[in-house]
Structure 1
Amino acid sequence: MGSSIRSLVEITSRKIIKPLSPTPYHLKALKLSLLDQILPPTLYGTLVFLYTNHWHGAGFVSNASKRLQESLSKTLVLFYPLAGRLKGPAFIECNDEGAHFLEARVNCQLADFLQQPEPKLIHHLIPETDYETAQVALGSVLLLVQINFFNCGGIAIAVSPSHKIADVTSLYTFARTWAAINRDEDQYDDGVGGQLALPEFNGGNLLPSRDLPAIPKTLETPSENLTTRKFVFDVSKMASLKAKIEGVVPNFIPTNVQLVLAIILKCAIAAFHKSKPGTPIRPTVLFQMVNLRRRMLPELPQNAMGNWFWPLPILFKEDETQLHELVSTMRKGLTDFVIEKANRFKGVEGFLAVFECIRERGQLLKSTKDINLYWATSLCKLPLYEMDFGWGKPTWVTSKGGYKNVIALVDTKFCDGIEAWVTLDEQEMAILESDEELLAYLVPSTPAQTMFDIKSSIKLKSNM
């Protein structure tokens, strides 16, 4: 891949895909939830599913593209708000104007790309990276998709719904339904022996939108000095670490996700101080995304669309830097949140719960002026590698980086490890990737790989 990145990906088609049948009149207006309301309109979540295809022929690209467009049109009948337009902070007009559908040709072999992923190429596989088009679409259009065909017949399907209507669980629900319809237009099976549940768009009834005070900004704008790297953690190496922590903290066995986050956090904090000699040791706040669906009573179903998550701030004191201390504080923070607040995010009391959490967040950030601030989200346990559009299961599932101090976790294909995508300042990353404690828990045959070098010429958006 010696030629320029831009020349490798050529947009060959731009279309608007509308629902196969019109949305009924009584569904034309959708009120969003309070949790949807507080998100900015230009945030788009993205997942990219890459498939190795061995059965392509001369007509494969046109046939596959046509089938994907037809199945997307059918899928939008079920997910009708995604074909609408955002008309306010908490209102979607379900007017069937359609989703943006881009088709691209990637002038390289998928195998070559997977062997050594080109940092900026992934951004060109994602629709909103084409900013001439995106400037018109972003903030109003609620779904962008890009289908990328490699020279070998490999396919990359990028799905980017607006964060105003979809968190990562909602994104998965949509993609899974689209894949099932594309596999067999008459049977909406889920690929694992069950039937797909229809999406539920009732967030506005469960947690109505309301006027809220300004929310403190915590996520920094992307800059030219950030680097995202992928680290693959060996789950088998976590067993001995769990035993050690249980010896220090009786009756507590941390999860693999908690351990991976703690290891990264410990090493990232150390890298920060090594990169800035003389900086006093200071507190750390980790915003951990908590899925509310299974923590509410009664539980919300997985097919509940919208943003049913909360960024839970966890404060670590200056002297809390050991792994057992980090995981213990994570557990306590999550346990307290679930007991005291999670079940209140609905109904009349929901507004008070959200307002209280926002107020507490503001007080925390104000009281700790000099802090290390990190964000973490986990896609683990989502069966992303079951996403079969008709060409088998994906070879790799990825996303994009872009914001400072963000940690995103996802299971490896065979669930024998956890991939961590970490975005840090370049100088801090250079120190982190050589940290011996971090390296001790990585898969030996898969060293850290540069996934993205973020420069000012590439504008990026959030993946939370």
Structure 2
Amino acid sequence: MGVVKTEIISRKCIKPSIPTPPHLRTFKLSLLDRILPDFHPDMTFFFPSNSLDNFSTKSQLLQKSLSDTLTHFYTFAGRFQDEVTVCCNDDGNYFIEARTDISLSDFLRLPDLPSLIDHHLVPSNDKETVKMANGSMLLVKFMSFSCGGTALSISSSHKIADLGSVMLFLKSWSSACRGSPDPIKPDLNLGPSIFPVIPIPPGSESLVMPDKKFVQRRLIFSPDKIRELKNKILTDILGKSYDHDNQYRLSRSEAVIAFIWKCALDSSKSKTGQFKPSALVQAVNLRTRMDPALPENSFGNLSWLFSMIVENEKEMELLELVKQLKLWKESLNEKANKFKGGEQEVRSYMKELLDEKDEILVKRKELLVYMVSSWCGFPLFEIDYGWGKPFWMTHIAKNLVANAIYLQDTKEAGGVEVSVNLDEEEMNIFEANKELLKFASFNPTIN
């Protein structure tokens, strides 16, 4: 960490520009909000230098537009009152200005980049800010590099917002920063209206796996390599050369998830000398899987963790994993719509899902559990605050769990960037996997 020196310029509390009306001051969390732990996922956007404005001007624009945006996303500016309620008291969010003496290009070429981003850019790791913020739902850090490039990092409470909701917030905030007169407004009450507040069994609040030591690696699957991988899988499944006629559709994320899972399972088997049954647990966006689909301005936690299990070694073959993954994905629409039943139906379904979660994460100790989160398809590279779109963005998940796989789009359309967290010995085997190296490049230079 000694290579990079950073300095905090200021810490400011940003409150909504218009006070939240008294009748909106008490916000009840939905069932899905309550189930999630209160950790703060983060994302960092990197912007190249430009001659439009200096750092101070950009920072002032960000702070003013954030204040205006919080008027509509007022739960972000509140504090938890108890386990089911947010007091929307306009206590506000903390905005950190910082600078460093290194250029952005040099920073991105440094070894162990995830740790550097985690240590220097992620606002929730700034102990002084966290202490001052006193339970803030949202923390922002804006960093200036010596070349004029900038990084914008956001940490938000998962207890009130999933990725779809954070994307809606970022669209609204960036639009306001560009001077748009028409604010993007969220529907904050949709979640509680669909997923009612019902009693949940004690101990069911946390869906995070127990933590253990691990290392993280970043991989890139280029568009060409994605096509090669899909072609290989589909040729194996169809028993003939795949002619791209879409008779058997296979998404980028399905191909990459199955492939990474297979390689991770191979690494575990090589380390221990034996096969272990495995579960894949993936966060699934319910918005587009419900019929009818939920509105684009839906805000809150509208995702759920669904799982599939590989019980025997034969099922570990890549084409078998893909077949099972596709069948599992096809069943998710039906599962998502079960959340739209009446209170008794939802209560019964939630008990079923929580029992399933406990079976996988608690009772079946022999299961190798891999957590998957895919950000593919979310327009993260379209976020523009008025000085251009980011040339790279990342989600540093080192504060979460081992055996985790995180996917996002590359800036080049059709590619996939993957972050993988594994046990150190297993990672050494994983990195040497010749089949994996045919399709993915490890820790490539960021341009």
Q: TM-score w.r.t. structure 1 length?
A: 0.87
- The one-character-per-residue Cα deviations of 1:114-145 (angstroms, maximum 9, x if unpaired) are 3346342211211111124325647x321111
Q: Which residue of structure 1 aligns with residue 190 of structure 2? A: 202
1:149-188, aligned counterparts within 5 Å? 149-184=144-179, 186-188=181-183
Q: Which residue of structure 1 aligns with residue 67 of structure 2? A: 73
- Counterpart of 1:260, as a letter, is V
CA–CA distance in 2 between the matches of 1:322 and 1:143? 43
Question: What's the offset of the Cα at 1:336?
Answer: 2.4
Q: Secondary structure at the match of 2:253?
A: helix
CA–CA distance in 1 between the matches of 2:170 and 2:283? 21
1:168-317, aligned counterparts within 5 Å? 168-184=163-179, 186-188=181-183, 196=184, 198-213=186-201, 214-215=203-204, 219-223=208-212, 225-250=213-238, 252-276=248-272, 278=273, 280-317=274-311
CA–CA distance in 1 between the matches of 2:103 and 2:228? 40
- The one-character-per-residue Cα deviations of 1:57-89 (angstroms, maximum 9, x if unpaired) are 7xx222221111111100101111110111122
Tell me the number of residue pairs that the alignment of Structure 1 and Structure 2 aligns: 430
1:327-366, aligned counterparts within 5 Å? 327-339=322-334, 341-346=335-340, 347-348=342-343, 349-365=345-361
Question: What's the offset of the Cα at 1:252?
Answer: 3.3
Q: Greater CA deviation, 250-259 or 384-393?
A: 250-259
From the superposition, tell whether residues 336 and 136 of structure 1 become closer, same or farther in structure 2 (CA, over 3 Å).
Answer: same
Question: What's the offset of the Cα at 1:12?
Answer: 1.6
- Counterpart of 1:442, as a letter, is A
CA–CA distance in 2 between the matches of 1:366 and 1:104? 42
Q: Which residue of structure 2 aligns with residue 30 of structure 1? A: 27
CA–CA distance in 1 between the matches of 2:378 and 2:84? 27
Q: Secondary structure at the match of 1:48?
A: strand
- The one-character-per-residue Cα deviations of 1:169-201 (angstroms, maximum 9, x if unpaired) are 11111111111111115354xxxxxxx454433
2:37 matches 1:40: yes
Q: TM-score w.r.t. structure 2 length?
A: 0.90
Q: Which residue of structure 2 aligns with residue 145 of structure 1? A: 140
Question: What's the offset of the Cα at 1:426?
Answer: 1.3
Query: Between the two proteins, what is the percent identity of the paired residues?
Result: 38
- The one-character-per-residue Cα deviations of 1:405-442 (angstroms, maximum 9, x if unpaired) are 11110010022310001111111111111111111112
From the superposition, tell whether residues 131 and 275 of structure 1 become closer, same or farther in structure 2 (CA, over 3 Å).
Answer: farther
CA–CA distance in 2 between the matches of 1:109 and 1:354? 50
- Counterpart of 2:94, as a letter, is H
CA–CA distance in 1 between the matches of 2:123 and 2:359? 38
Question: What's the offset of the Cα at 1:284?
Answer: 0.6
Which 5+ residue runs of structure 1 have no aligned equivalent? 189-195, 452-464
- The one-character-per-residue Cα deviations of 1:293-320 (angstroms, maximum 9, x if unpaired) are 0111221123211111111111012221
Q: Which residue of structure 2 aligns with residue 379 of structure 1? A: 375
CA–CA distance in 1 between the matches of 2:268 and 2:382? 38
The 8 Å contact of residues 242 and 253 in structure 1, kept in 2 or not, is answered as: no
Question: What's the offset of the Cα at 1:154?
Answer: 1.0
The 8 Å contact of residues 107 and 151 in structure 1, kept in 2 or not, is answered as: yes
Q: Which residue of structure 2 aligns with residue 435 of structure 1? A: 433
The 8 Å contact of residues 226 and 415 in structure 2, kept in 1 or not, is answered as: no
The 8 Å contact of residues 27 and 88 in structure 2, kept in 1 or not, is answered as: yes
The 8 Å contact of residues 235 and 256 in structure 1, kept in 2 or not, is answered as: no
From the superposition, tell whether residues 234 and 414 of structure 1 become closer, same or farther in structure 2 (CA, over 3 Å).
Answer: closer
Q: Secondary structure at the match of 1:293?
A: coil
CA–CA distance in 2 between the matches of 1:199 and 1:13? 33
Which 5+ residue runs of structure 2 have no aligned equivalent? 239-246
CA–CA distance in 2 between the matches of 1:54 and 1:61? 10
Q: Which residue of structure 2 aligns with residue 421 of structure 1? A: 419
CA–CA distance in 2 between the matches of 1:206 and 1:70? 33
State the Cα RMSD in Å.
2.2
Q: Which residue of structure 2 aligns with residue 192 of structure 1? A: none
The 8 Å contact of residues 186 and 299 in structure 2, kept in 1 or not, is answered as: no
From the superposition, tell whether residues 351 and 218 of structure 1 become closer, same or farther in structure 2 (CA, over 3 Å).
Answer: closer
The 8 Å contact of residues 6 and 99 in structure 2, kept in 1 or not, is answered as: yes
CA–CA distance in 2 between the matches of 1:229 and 1:353? 37
